[in-house]
Chains A and B, each alone.
Chain A
Amino acid sequence: MGIKVEKTVEFRISRFDPEQNKHYASTFKVPIRKGTTLLDALLYIKDNFDDSLTFRHSCRMGICGSCGINVNGQPMLACYTQVLDLGADSLLLEPLSNFQVIKDLVVDIEPFFDTYKRIKTFLIKPEQEFKKTDEFAQSPQDLKKYWDLTLCIKCSICNSACPAAIDAKFLGPSSLTATYRFISDSRDQGLDERLKPMADNVWLCTQCNSCTMFCPKKLPCANAILDDHSLLVEAGNIPRTVKDVLESVYKYHNPMGTHQSRRMEWAKDLDVKTFPTVAKADVLLFVCCSNAFDPRNQEIARGMVSILNRLGVDFATLGAEEWCCGDHMLRLGEKGLFEELSAHNVSMFEKLNVKKIVTISPHCYNTFKNDKPYSDAKLNVQHYTQFIAEAIEQGRLKLPNTVKRRIAYHDPCFLGKRNDVYDAPRNVLRSVNGVELVEMKRTRQNSFCCGGGAGRVWTEEADPDKRPCVSRVKEALELGVENIAAACPFCITTLEDAVKVLDVESKISIKDILEVMKEAA
């Protein structure tokens, strides 16, 4: 039909010829009209230019789950994506990640479907109940509790984006969500049986949120997995490593197993003010347990102090009254413990009439912004990269020294994926004289988690090649950068572990942005 061509888009397609075991690329120019989907474009190429181009497709209406591919690094359904909506003149099409490629854009999805064999995908009830000849009753309200979770089309996009799924032990977002779908179904009576297959692996989930972000059907997968965590915590069915973390927080109000009275030791020679010793300060610096207690990460906190002092900011910390923000605990499923921690912190904020909070960790930032009761308290909170970026923009911060270095920035998930803060940390890094900022292949929304979220930073036991941090460091090594910079103490810990595991300390080192700034100060 006569509908006009809006533009011509270049399709660069990653190809694989299994018989020659050869990877190569093909480029095609495709006329794009209003309404042309990625799948239409692929079919156009196959019909007109190259019948050997291989990809899966069937329903062309986003329901059969065949046509997931990576487009400019982001997984999506080809049939359910309008080319014009991507707003690009050139697109890189690649097969989904985390799977073996069979040919071109076709990957081996058998391992994905194998995860379903480990769980039960039908109602569990006592046998005699199934002799009923009419339906089991279910109210519309009870249906609503799990309805959204039934809409998974099993396209495997979540698995493709999932950092934990590089370990086959992990059931994966789709199967874990399916498990929670049945647990939440009022007709089902199989809770104990359903908890078993995930009890030893669901903890590999880092709550990075990639599954939820990229799900073409908008399933709240990450939340379903969080609820799986909670059920296991309630059932007391948790591994020793997780138990140790939780017990430390019960006992000390921090996961580091150190008495709260030592919380300010990192600043002993820095003259940092603490509430309530001072009645008020313009800014509350929320330090984070890792920065306060981990000797390696104390440097990050010290870096923050040097910048705040340089800016002349009137700030104070909560001192020993800073309890763990609870972000990791909540995402490990310990909702009760989170309630206790958050209630304490919120009451401190209110008692001290705190007007502005700056966090060093993205995890504190995230939970303050998004989780009740913090979110109800409408806190005025910034991550330090936002705070410093503002100062730079206003010309209030100039660092004298040059740091001549190629640096790749790693997006912390709780800053980027969960809160859309991508530019502030980059702007801060760019402001340092001499720094050459390099982007990794997986970057911004498509960034790859370090593997530290939801408590995994303290529970990691996987073989090195199954750790997300190792995959991430390898990716940076390919770029030949001297540093990976991050803006999160947990990213620093995991990535530094990976550097040690890979034995590449002479080639690359891990720095928090604050440490780079301290060098320039």
Chain B
Amino acid sequence: MEKYSHDLIIVGAGLAGLRAAVAAAEVNSKLDIAVLSKHHPLRSHSVCAQGGTGAVMREKDSYDLHAYDTVKGADFLADQDAVEFFVRQVPREIVLTEHWGCPWSRNAEGKIDQRPFGGHTFPRACFAADMTGFLEMHAIYGKATSYNNIKFYDEWFVTSLIVEDKAAVGLTAIEMKTGEIQAFRAKSIIMATGGHERIYEFTTFSHSTTGDGMAMAYRAGAPLEDMEFVQFHPTGLVPSGVLITEGARGEGGYLLNANGERFMKKYAPEKIELGPRDVVSRAEQTEILEGRGLQGPYGPYIALDLRHLGEERINLRLPLIRDVAIKLGGVDPVKEPIPIRPAAHYSMGGIKANVKTETPIAGLYAAGECSCISVHGANRLGTNSTAECLVFGAVAGEEAAKHASSSSLHEVPQEKLSAEENRIHEIVSRNGNERAPAIRDEMRRIMKEEVWIYRNGPQLETALKEIRQLKNRFRSVRIEDKGKPFNTGLLETLQLDFMLDLAEVTIACALPRAESRGAHSRTDYPKRDDQNWLKHTLAYCTGDGPRLEYMPVTITRWPPVARTY
């Protein structure tokens, strides 16, 4: 095993990771920064973000409005100090990406255009047609590669985080091209590895976004916060689950049931299709459960109708959506409605971090979807995820750079490295009778049947039991490919290992929360319960599964009120 050393290591090269790299490089041009990613940065899931980035850019909008929309959208579980900081930082990020070259869509005056989005009371979604994340990513990557002090390790798969005396000191990673496992030392480490919704089958997620960073931090002793809150996006394309942006409704699209009704009028009379995602997804699920879904070869669905927008507007504002619907859904939205249904989309939960992105482990920072800071509480508003990646990516880069500048490298103990090498070697050389794809599919079946939009106690108990059985079965997984270079059979098995932990944590956190709040909808506890549950869940890794603790929510100016749209 070779040893690599850097001042700062960033794991993950999506929006948050790349933004952190640029921010850190700006703090100190002498700082030695490494970005490790299991694929090339531009393959990161952030390129799939479509609709926009929410920012207060114009006079009629205000930070207070954005903050309150976010807090209300979060069903009052967000930490309001973090939210207030967050909304003030986004405009700067929009301007920075613009200065780097991001081709934001423009209004007639030549300023960055903004469109309406669910749960926002002002049209504040800055957008670049319907490829916002893609174009932000390419702009930031274009900038990040211009710094001499950022070294990219593309296609390096990080397997574990090394923590000594409650401080992050390094990590282990497989160089995919050779298959060699190597050790890295660093003074600061930023996790920016995204969410874990690949624990579900019907999801908007890229295949490779499997929550690795969350799982590694969890195993290394960092608590995961609010993992029971998984967002279901109202418009996942049938049959693949590929995202159809909320911007489609922001532009005026309708949701229709089998009777051709705009059923959202019933559930969110004021906002209709532009209610927050938890509300709209529940409404769709209810329509389907009550028999008003449309029937197709892939089961019941809801129709997203854009026809009245006209071909010109669709081509200008939603070109990717049109192309994706034609190529992957077999429908042209100019001529017919798009078949959609709710799809697992976002993890409000993640590695517990404060507003400076510091985690409880010294030297370990978390930003983007893998973190929980928490600005999204129980339900994130559309446009706030790319915004969060930019804002807290920058904060993480700055904070981790400062920390690295004032601390020194630690020795990584040899036995930790050997243990990790042995762990991986053991997985490759197993001769069991289980196959990873079968366990993966079973995990996704459980998550779909028992831990979907609506859950209840008995379902969650069953799910927890079944996931734990799967974890047992995983110990007998056999990988046919025994080769070293680019062994994707091994890497997918390691990802499954991470996902099984995260599925277990998600269920274990959901089970005791006896209320319905935001994206966590309990049929046995249909009401929000501020008396008992206005608190964050923390899950700590133990040999017997997660140990839960709770932590108060920071309320600054907006005490919880009834949430209507």
A positions within 8 Å CB-CB of B: 1-3, 17-19, 34-35, 37, 46-48, 50-52, 54-66, 80, 82, 102-104, 106, 108-110, 113, 116-117, 120-123, 130, 132-140, 142-143, 146-147, 150-151, 153-154, 182, 185, 187-188
Is there contact, CB below 8 Å, between B486 and A122? no
Q: Which 9 A-B pairs have the closest CB atoms?
A: A121-B142, A52-B481, A137-B110, A51-B489, A47-B437, A103-B486, A64-B43, A58-B206, A3-B297
- Bound CA–CA A57/B239 (angstroms): 18
Kindly list chain A residues whose C-beta atoms are within 8 Å of the C-beta of B479: 51
Shortest Cβ distance from A77 into B: residue: B327
Is there contact, CB below 8 Å, between B239 and A51? no
Q: Which of B104, B106, B437, B487: most chain A CB closer than 10 A?
A: B106
Kindly list chain A residues whose C-beta atoms are within 8 Å of the C-beta of B431: none
Shortest Cβ distance from B38 into A: residue: A58
Is there contact, CB below 8 Å, between A35 and B101? no
Confirm or deny: B472 has a beta carbon within 8 angstroms of a beta carbon on chain A.
no
Q: Which of A19, A34, A51: most chain B CB closer than 10 A?
A: A51
Confirm or deny: B100 has a beta carbon within 8 angstroms of a beta carbon on chain A.
yes
Determine which of A50, A60, A122 lies in contact with B142 in the assembled complex, contact meaning CB atoms within 8 Å. Answer: A122
Kindly list chain A residues whose C-beta atoms are within 8 Å of the C-beta of B107: 140
- Bound CA–CA A136/B104 (angstroms): 11
Is there contact, CB below 8 Å, between A135 and B486? no
Is there contact, CB below 8 Å, between A62 and B323? yes
- Bound CA–CA A138/B106 (angstroms): 7
Is there contact, CB below 8 Å, between B297 and A135? no
Is there contact, CB below 8 Å, between B483 and A62? no
Give me 19 other A-B pairs in contact (C-beta within 8 A), A1-B239, A133-B92, A140-B107 excluded.
A3-B297, A51-B481, A51-B492, A54-B486, A59-B43, A61-B48, A66-B39, A103-B483, A108-B177, A120-B146, A121-B101, A121-B143, A135-B95, A135-B111, A135-B112, A147-B103, A147-B129, A185-B101, A185-B103
Shortest Cβ distance from B106 into A: residue: A140
Kindly list chain B residues whose C-beta atoms are within 8 Å of the C-beta of A142: 110
Q: Can you give 21 A-B contacts (C-beta < 8 A)?
A: A1-B239, A18-B485, A46-B489, A47-B437, A51-B479, A52-B489, A54-B487, A58-B43, A60-B207, A61-B48, A64-B43, A64-B47, A64-B48, A66-B40, A103-B483, A135-B94, A135-B111, A140-B107, A142-B110, A154-B42, A187-B101
Given A60-B240, A63-B47, A140-B106 in contact, is the A17-B324 Cβ separation under 8 Å? no
Given A35-B239, A134-B95 in contact, is the A19-B109 Cβ separation under 8 Å? no
Is there contact, CB below 8 Å, between A135 and B104? yes
Determine which of B45, B106, B110, B146 lies in contact with A122 in the assembled complex, contact meaning CB atoms within 8 Å. Answer: B146
- Bound CA–CA A142/B39 (angstroms): 34
Is there contact, CB below 8 Å, between A37 and B485? no
Is there contact, CB below 8 Å, between B110 and A139? yes
- Bound CA–CA A146/B239 (angstroms): 34
Kindly list chain B residues whose C-beta atoms are within 8 Å of the C-beta of A103: 483, 485-486
Q: How far is the CB of A36 from chain B (nearest CB, A)?
A: 10
Given A19-B483, A61-B324, A62-B323 in contact, is the A1-B42 Cβ separation under 8 Å? no
Shortest Cβ distance from B146 into A: residue: A122
Kindly list chain B residues whose C-beta atoms are within 8 Å of the C-beta of A59: 43, 45, 47-48, 206-207
Kindly list chain B residues whose C-beta atoms are within 8 Å of the C-beta of A65: 42-43
Kindly list chain B residues whose C-beta atoms are within 8 Å of the C-beta of A50: 480
Kindly list chain A residues whose C-beta atoms are within 8 Å of the C-beta of B177: 102, 108
Determine which of A61, A109, A110, A138 lies in contact with B242 in the assembled complex, contact meaning CB atoms within 8 Å. Answer: A61
Which residues of B52-75 have CB atoms within 8 Å of chain A's CB atoms? none
Confirm or deny: B420 has a beta carbon within 8 angstroms of a beta carbon on chain A.
no
What is the interface size of chain B, counting residues whose CB is below 8 A from a CB of the partner? 69
Given A106-B486, A122-B101, A122-B139 in contact, is the A113-B40 Cβ separation under 8 Å? yes
Is there contact, CB below 8 Å, between A133 and B330? no
Is there contact, CB below 8 Å, between A1 and B297? yes
Shortest Cβ distance from A185 into B: residue: B101
- Bound CA–CA A103/B92 (angstroms): 44
Confirm or deny: B484 has a beta carbon within 8 angstroms of a beta carbon on chain A.
yes
- Bound CA–CA A201/B141 (angstroms): 25
Confirm or deny: B266 has a beta carbon within 8 angstroms of a beta carbon on chain A.
no
Kindly list chain B residues whose C-beta atoms are within 8 Å of the C-beta of A123: 99-101
Of the listed stretches B130-138, B221-229, B373-381, B497-505, chain A binds B130-138
Determine which of B48, B106, B154 lies in contact with A143 in the assembled complex, contact meaning CB atoms within 8 Å. Answer: B106
Shortest Cβ distance from B96 into A: residue: A130
Confirm or deny: B105 has a beta carbon within 8 angstroms of a beta carbon on chain A.
yes
Kindly list chain B residues whose C-beta atoms are within 8 Å of the C-beta of A46: 437, 488-489
Q: How far is the CB of B423 from chain A (nearest CB, A)?
A: 20
Is there contact, CB below 8 Å, between A52 and B103? no
- Bound CA–CA A55/B103 (angstroms): 32
Shortest Cβ distance from A117 into B: residue: B145
Q: Which of B45, B98, B487: most chain A CB closer than 10 A?
A: B98
- Bound CA–CA A150/B177 (angstroms): 30
Kindly list chain B residues whose C-beta atoms are within 8 Å of the C-beta of A113: 40, 154
- Bound CA–CA A58/B111 (angstroms): 34
Kindly list chain B residues whose C-beta atoms are within 8 Å of the C-beta of A135: 94-95, 98-99, 104, 111-112
Shortest Cβ distance from B97 into A: residue: A135
Shortest Cβ distance from A19 into B: residue: B483
- Bound CA–CA A66/B82 (angstroms): 36
- Bound CA–CA A103/B489 (angstroms): 13
Confirm or deny: B419 has a beta carbon within 8 angstroms of a beta carbon on chain A.
no
Kindly list chain B residues whose C-beta atoms are within 8 Å of the C-beta of A18: 483, 485-486
Q: How far is the CB of A376 from chain B (nearest CB, A)?
A: 27
- Bound CA–CA A134/B48 (angstroms): 27
- Bound CA–CA A452/B488 (angstroms): 41
Kindly list chain A residues whose C-beta atoms are within 8 Å of the C-beta of B104: 135
Confirm or deny: B470 has a beta carbon within 8 angstroms of a beta carbon on chain A.
no
Is there contact, CB below 8 Å, between B206 and A60? yes
Is there contact, CB below 8 Å, between B327 and A51? no
Kindly list chain B residues whose C-beta atoms are within 8 Å of the C-beta of A47: 437
Is there contact, CB below 8 Å, between A64 and B44? yes
0/1 interface trace, chain B 110-154, chain A, CB 8 Å (1 if under): 111000000000000000010100110011011101100000001
Q: How far is the CB of B37 from chain A (nearest CB, A)?
A: 11
Shortest Cβ distance from A116 into B: residue: B145
- Bound CA–CA A56/B92 (angstroms): 35
Kindly list chain B residues whose C-beta atoms are within 8 Å of the C-beta of A146: 103
- Bound CA–CA A113/B313 (angstroms): 35
Kindly list chain A residues whose C-beta atoms are within 8 Å of the C-beta of B324: 61-62
Kindly list chain A residues whose C-beta atoms are within 8 Å of the C-beta of B131: 63, 151
- Bound CA–CA A153/B42 (angstroms): 8
Is there contact, CB below 8 Å, between B103 and A143? yes
Is there contact, CB below 8 Å, between B43 and A37? no
- Bound CA–CA A136/B484 (angstroms): 50
- Bound CA–CA A321/B145 (angstroms): 54
Kindly list chain B residues whose C-beta atoms are within 8 Å of the C-beta of A104: 486
Kindly list chain A residues whose C-beta atoms are within 8 Å of the C-beta of B39: 56, 58, 66
Is there contact, CB below 8 Å, between B323 and A1? no
Shortest Cβ distance from B103 into A: residue: A150
Is there contact, CB below 8 Å, between B100 and A58? no
Which residues of B232-259 have CB atoms within 8 Å of chain A's CB atoms? 239-240, 242-243
Is there contact, CB below 8 Å, between A140 and B108? yes
Given A1-B297, A58-B45 in contact, is the A137-B103 Cβ separation under 8 Å? no
Is there contact, CB below 8 Å, between A35 and B48? no
Kindly list chain B residues whose C-beta atoms are within 8 Å of the C-beta of A52: 480-481, 483, 487, 489
- Bound CA–CA A398/B500 (angstroms): 74
Is there contact, CB below 8 Å, between B297 and A182? no
Q: How far is the CB of A219 from chain B (nearest CB, A)?
A: 13
Kindly list chain A residues whose C-beta atoms are within 8 Å of the C-beta of B34: none
Is there contact, CB below 8 Å, between B320 and A35? no
Q: How far is the CB of A109 from chain B (nearest CB, A)?
A: 7
- Bound CA–CA A120/B92 (angstroms): 23
Is there contact, CB below 8 Å, between A150 and B489? no
Is there contact, CB below 8 Å, between B327 and A80? yes
Shortest Cβ distance from B95 into A: residue: A135
Q: How far is the CB of B336 from chain A (nearest CB, A)?
A: 16
Kindly list chain B residues whose C-beta atoms are within 8 Å of the C-beta of A80: 327-328
Confirm or deny: B559 has a beta carbon within 8 angstroms of a beta carbon on chain A.
no
Q: How far is the CB of B159 from chain A (nearest CB, A)?
A: 19
